[in-house]
Structure 1
Amino acid sequence: MMLDLSPLRASRGFQLLYAARAASFLAFGVLGVAVSLQMYALTASSLQVAFLNAAVAGSMALALIVGGWLADSYDRRAVMVWSRTAHLLTILILMANAALAAPMVWPIYAAAVVGGSTFGFGMPAIMAATPALVGREHLSGAAALTAVAAQAGAIAGPFLAGAITAGAGLVACYGVVALISGITPIVLGFLPPLPPLAGPSAGAPLPVLAADEAGFMGGLRYIARSPLVLSLLLVDLVALVFAVPYVLLPELATHGLGGGPDSIGLLYAAPSVGALFGALASGRAGASPFAGRWLVACVAVWACACIALGFSEGMAPALFCLATLGAAASLAGILRAALIQRATPDAMLGRVSSLWVLEETIGPALGGMQAGTTAHLASARIAMAAGGGLCLAATAAIAAFTPALRDASLAPEAKRKADDLALAAVDAR
């Protein structure tokens, strides 16, 4: 049940990619907190912080559409290196603004747009490169390792940001981020060339919104014609919209549990701690012949933890529910990543990955609006319980009507069958 390290042993290329991504996760963890602290210090407005996050998400959503096309049309190593190099402009803008005697707000928004865009341009290429580097038999292990790095960055980044900002100031904090981020394109530059494999997206670049398979719409059509990939994305979207209760934690801590700011911090940290342990205990997921059923079970546990959180009466039960939610979400994400990447032909991986990341970006925002509205009309506890119940019902319905999801396997003997089905889906168009 321990973490599968075979992708790191099997591939020098994945070692480089993993080191680059681990550095990026840590840098993003530090940067997100530092920018939020600066924006709030300048404006004393949480709404401005929310607008800043919206600027990042909006620019990233648009860039992901282009980024998926780039990943399926050009060498993925080049796309990764140039996008991560361009991302350094974000930190330079923030450093220069923080060094002013009177820092301004608009450069922070400008940096948010640049940062979201450069992230969106490069993320599909990074995700599409993984199968080529580790082979499709190691996809689950690679996803688990990535989840560990992501959660470690999410946990360590805020602590590091707070410590550096308190001790040396924001300019020094941004300088540390620039140093960490500068490692990423250098490491990625040592990867071998990673052109998309020959397929329907190969050849001369075409317009992003072209109506053929080489354009963005080709990725949508592939998802629509692949029951497995479509159901995986639908289950993920359902969970993100109905069973991500994080916007309700301040209300729960203050009015439901009677805690203070320290309690809120513990509640927010609990899912990341659970997710880290979930990833560390994912060793057998990579060879499971029942991966689809396990994924459905993980989402069901995720939903039940959200329901139980709504009925929690003390801090300890609430922390346990959130940690369980995080662990289940982490395991579901690992299985989902492996199944999507195994089921998708290489020529489509960039666009499918871009749509997946787009869903992961928009889903929590929609979920926050849904939860906040329900809590306003009723209460935070009702919002959590109702959201978890809707997630559980919708997941059960998707699984019941999608045999491809129930029968999905990550067992080694299922690899050839999965590849054949993926190619047949492309040929069927």
Structure 2
Amino acid sequence: MSGGFTLSAWAIDLTPLRVNRQFRLLFIGRLVSMFALGMLMVVLSVQIYDLTGSSLQVALVNTALGVSTFVGALAGGVLADRVDRRRVILVSRALAIAGLVGLACNASLDEPSVAALYVFAVWDGVTGSIGSTAFGAAVPAVVPRAMLPATGTLMAMCLDLGSAASPLVGGVLAGAGGFALVYWVVAVISVISWLFLFQLRPIRPGASEEAQGGEAAEPAPGAAETEPGPSSVLPGESSGELSGSGSGWRGWRADLVGGLRFASREPVVAAVLLMGFLQIFFASPHVLIPEFVQSTLGGGPEAVGLMYSATSVGAIIATLASGWVPRVRRVGLVIVGVYVSSSMWVVAFGLSPTVAIAAVAMALVGAGDVIGEILRFTVLAERTPDRLRGRVQSLWAAQATVGDSLGGPVLSVGARLIGVGPVIVVGGLVAAVTTALLLLTHPRLRTLTRTPDTGAADTEADSQTEVDTQTDAGTQTNAGTQADAEPGRDPEADLAHKPAHNPAHKPTRSTP
């Protein structure tokens, strides 16, 4: 039966897990480590407060963690574009496990050291973010382009499932056996995650744009051929400026500058990163939830917990029903629409008169945010050359860290000035308006389209970029890019003459 409603058309696509061993190992390793991380973050804050009785100390240790995460993400991005990403993941995770053992030993002392908690928090921030950045660069490198939306969906589900119950488990274990027990449990879980990741094959930067996994899916018979993505070399610069070939501090600095230059000059990548920052900065009222629930809605701790849980529940439901996402064609307009809608649900949350309505609004915020993240992941993965994915992934992590670190204090100050409800409403409205304005300031978002087989491409803009790139004497392009940039060639006509994709054909395993 075709054309009608089918459950499979809406259900989450598990194909990458079924057919790609490399991705399966990454997914399991990530899921296990996210469960451990959720326990760690809660228990670390609780132990700091238990030792000092100061909320300021809790805020300071989280600030130290955020700063170290930012630094580690930038360093991890360069490393992930220079050496085998599997090696970066394994070494950084091993160092993080050593820090967990240190936390457990410190917690076992009669008088645990507060200074040691700061040191290990910074250690975890640096090592954890290096590994996470390399991990983020590795995921799109091991799956075919056609599977990127499904891959992004599964990684979003991994995050939600891994962090849904772990804070509660960590709190229960801390109450039953003390902080040292929790740290030891987290260390053991992290070792299990490391053992899964150890089974990965090497994931070298730039080795493949399609799939490095031995079980990567092959294109379906009769499917449209994958078009070349946007040129990784922009007008006015050579490919050497973007590659990780330098040594010493100058080489690292050149790599960082090369990644920033690519992200700022590739208009779609720049818009997608900026969009995420705007959402996190203006439309993330999580820091205000306790005050809003208690002072405006008259709820207690249970209602506060309900708000946080509602966001995760909404995200999980949206992820499980995300089978339609890979079929989105006007992906640029849809991303903007999703985030504008999510921002307006933040407004609805700030105007909510009851706990029940507020919980529904937060569930819809969570649903919109996760769909937006899936689409942004897909676009960034398709628009970024593999040898630059580490640095672009570090910028993804940086915009989240900076947006959260700055947005929370700004909203808190605003709540003191105009009230907690009004500042949530204003933040949501500002996020909605500024996100919509990206369609004017970054017009290529309006023309950004994708198909299941060719991926995201603003055909007119990409063709012009490639023409400009070829005319630059210092720029090197491959033969496929040159062919697509022939004067007078109509990219839309090229797409129209490609064989139609037959959804009945399922991807098959390739020979290891």
The reply to whether residue 195 of structure 1 matches residue 235 of structure 2 is no
The reply to whether residue 44 of structure 1 matches residue 30 of structure 2 is no
Equivalent residue, structure 1, for 2:21: 12
Query: Are the counterparts in 2 of residues 82 and 185 from structure 1 also a CA contact under 8 Å?
Result: no
Equivalent residue, structure 2, for 1:351: 391
Equivalent residue, structure 2, for 1:110: 119
Matches within 5 A, 1:354-369: 354-369=394-409
Which of 232, 255, 271 pairs up with 1:231?
A: 271
How much has 1:326 moved relative to structure 2? Answer: 0.8
CA displacement, residues 352-400 of structure 1 (integer Å, 9 cap, x when unaligned) = 1001111111111211122111111110111011111111110111023
Equivalent residue, structure 2, for 1:306: 346
Output the CA distance in 2 between the equivalents of 1:232 and 1:415.
Answer: 16
Output the CA distance in 2 between the equivalents of 1:284 and 1:18.
Answer: 21
The reply to whether residue 71 of structure 1 matches residue 83 of structure 2 is no
Q: Which has the higher helix share?
A: 1
The alignment yields a C-alpha RMSD, in angstroms, of 2.1
The reply to whether residue 154 of structure 1 matches residue 194 of structure 2 is no
Change beyond 3 A, Cα 1:69–1:161: same
Equivalent residue, structure 1, for 2:247: 206
User: What percent identity do the matched residue pairs reach?
Assistant: 35
How much has 1:185 moved relative to structure 2? Answer: 2.2
Query: Are the counterparts in 2 of residues 208 and 216 from structure 1 also a CA contact under 8 Å?
Result: no
Query: Are the counterparts in 2 of residues 10 and 134 from structure 1 also a CA contact under 8 Å?
Result: no
DSSP 3-state at the match of 1:410: strand
Query: Are the counterparts in 1 of residues 61 and 121 from structure 2 also a CA contact under 8 Å?
Result: yes
Output the CA distance in 1 between the equivalents of 2:453 and 2:173.
Answer: 50
CA displacement, residues 321-372 of structure 1 (integer Å, 9 cap, x when unaligned) = 1111111011100100111011000111000100111111111121112211
Output the CA distance in 2 between the equivalents of 1:288 and 1:244.
Answer: 26
Matches within 5 A, 1:404-415: 404-415=444-455
Query: Are the counterparts in 2 of residues 90 and 115 from structure 1 also a CA contact under 8 Å?
Result: yes
Equivalent residue, structure 1, for 2:261: 221
Equivalent residue, structure 2, for 1:246: 286
How much has 1:296 moved relative to structure 2? Answer: 0.8
**Greater mean alpha carbon deviation, residues 265-274 or residues 232-241:** 265-274
**Greater mean alpha carbon deviation, residues 384-393 or residues 164-173:** 164-173
How much has 1:413 moved relative to structure 2? Answer: 4.5
Count of matched residue positions in the alignment of Structure 1 and Structure 2: 428
Output the CA distance in 2 between the equivalents of 1:331 and 1:238.
Answer: 16
DSSP 3-state at the match of 1:127: helix
How much has 1:426 moved relative to structure 2? Answer: 7.9
Query: Are the counterparts in 2 of residues 375 and 383 from structure 1 also a CA contact under 8 Å?
Result: yes
CA displacement, residues 58-81 of structure 1 (integer Å, 9 cap, x when unaligned) = 111111111111000001110111
Matches within 5 A, 1:311-330: 311-330=351-370
Give the aligned residue type for 2:430: L
How much has 1:417 moved relative to structure 2? Answer: 4.8
Output the CA distance in 1 between the equivalents of 2:152 and 2:398.
Answer: 18
Equivalent residue, structure 2, for 1:386: 426
Output the CA distance in 2 between the equivalents of 1:277 and 1:46.
Answer: 34
Query: Are the counterparts in 2 of residues 76 and 196 from structure 1 also a CA contact under 8 Å?
Result: yes
Equivalent residue, structure 2, for 1:34: 43
**TM-score when scaled to structure 1?**
0.95
Query: Are the counterparts in 2 of residues 196 and 202 from structure 1 also a CA contact under 8 Å?
Result: no
How much has 1:133 moved relative to structure 2? Answer: 1.0
Output the CA distance in 2 between the equivalents of 1:230 and 1:323.
Answer: 28
Give the aligned residue type for 2:299: G
How much has 1:209 moved relative to structure 2? Answer: 5.5
Equivalent residue, structure 2, for 1:139: 148
How much has 1:234 moved relative to structure 2? Answer: 1.0
DSSP 3-state at the match of 2:349: helix
Query: Are the counterparts in 2 of residues 240 and 363 from structure 1 also a CA contact under 8 Å?
Result: yes
CA displacement, residues 150-191 of structure 1 (integer Å, 9 cap, x when unaligned) = 111221111110121122222211111011111222211211
Output the CA distance in 1 between the equivalents of 2:456 and 2:190.
Answer: 38
Query: Are the counterparts in 1 of residues 268 and 442 from structure 2 also a CA contact under 8 Å?
Result: yes
CA displacement, residues 25-70 of structure 1 (integer Å, 9 cap, x when unaligned) = 1010011111111111111111111111111111111111111110
The reply to whether residue 129 of structure 1 matches residue 138 of structure 2 is yes
The reply to whether residue 268 of structure 1 matches residue 286 of structure 2 is no
The reply to whether residue 185 of structure 1 matches residue 226 of structure 2 is no
How much has 1:101 moved relative to structure 2? Answer: 1.1
Output the CA distance in 1 between the equivalents of 2:455 and 2:433.
Answer: 31
Query: Are the counterparts in 2 of residues 16 and 188 from structure 1 also a CA contact under 8 Å?
Result: yes
Output the CA distance in 2 between the equivalents of 1:421 and 1:112.
Answer: 43
The reply to whether residue 403 of structure 1 matches residue 403 of structure 2 is no
Query: Are the counterparts in 1 of residues 244 and 251 from structure 2 also a CA contact under 8 Å?
Result: no
Equivalent residue, structure 1, for 2:99: 90
Output the CA distance in 1 between the equivalents of 2:419 and 2:250.
Answer: 43
Equivalent residue, structure 2, for 1:376: 416
Query: Are the counterparts in 2 of residues 257 and 314 from structure 1 also a CA contact under 8 Å?
Result: yes
The reply to whether residue 285 of structure 1 matches residue 325 of structure 2 is yes
Give the aligned residue type for 2:102: I
Q: Which runs of 5+ in 1 are unaligned?
A: none
CA displacement, residues 104-142 of structure 1 (integer Å, 9 cap, x when unaligned) = 211111110100000122222111111221122111111
Output the CA distance in 1 between the equivalents of 2:406 and 2:432.
Answer: 18
DSSP 3-state at the match of 1:215: helix
Output the CA distance in 1 between the equivalents of 2:343 and 2:247.
Answer: 42
CA displacement, residues 391-424 of structure 1 (integer Å, 9 cap, x when unaligned) = 1110111023323222223312433857994994
Change beyond 3 A, Cα 1:164–1:227: same
Output the CA distance in 2 between the equivalents of 1:70 and 1:187.
Answer: 21
Change beyond 3 A, Cα 1:398–1:290: same
Highest Rg: 1 or 2? 2
Change beyond 3 A, Cα 1:417–1:324: closer
Equivalent residue, structure 1, for 2:210: none
Output the CA distance in 1 between the equivalents of 2:462 and 2:192.
Answer: 39
How much has 1:319 moved relative to structure 2? Answer: 0.4
